A = this chain, B = another copy of it.
Amino acid sequence: MNQEAAIAGFEALASAVRLDIYRLLIRQGPSGMVAGDIATALDLAPTNLSFHLKNLTRAGLLTVVQEGRYQRYRAHLPGMLELLAYLTEECCGGEPELCAEVVALSKRLGAQADSDRPLP
């Protein structure tokens, strides 16, 4: 994870619409949702939704697969954990317990995150 990718990730989450989309898909879990259902659930114009879905996907926070004429989107948790790992690299010379936990989690999941990246 480099700085550019991290910025793309945080930028993706720094929008009310995209945050709603992402959390909706997190709640939805592995089944994900097709674009049209997301548009209905959040009352978004198809054009606008597509713009934000693309943003989230390019940031590595969503994956998308085609199903006939539908596009199914899913939250991509490793993308989020890579962001956490990037923030906490070389964390805390002072090592409070809290910090140690975060580092352990992000390190452990960081490796696994590299194995399945969505489209660049």
Segment 74-91 of A: residues with Cβ below 8 Å from B: 77-78, 80-81, 84, 86-91
**Nearest residue in B to A13 (C-beta to C-beta)?**
B10
Q: How far is the CB of A59 from chain B (nearest CB, A)?
A: 10
Segment 55-99 of A: residues with Cβ below 8 Å from B: 77-78, 80-81, 84, 86-96, 98-99
Segment 18-42 of A: residues with Cβ below 8 Å from B: 19-20, 22-23, 26-31
Q: Which listed residue, B10, B14, B31, B91, touches A26 by the CB 8 Å rule?
A: B91
Q: How far is the CB of A111 from chain B (nearest CB, A)?
A: 12
By DSSP majority rule, is chain A's interface helix, strand, loop, or mixed? helix
| A-B CB proximity, top 3 nearest | A10-B14, A30-B94, A29-B94
Which residues of A approach B to under 8 Å, CB–CB?
Answer: 3, 6-7, 10-11, 13-16, 19-20, 22-23, 26-31, 77-78, 80-81, 84, 86-96, 98-99, 101-102, 105, 109, 112
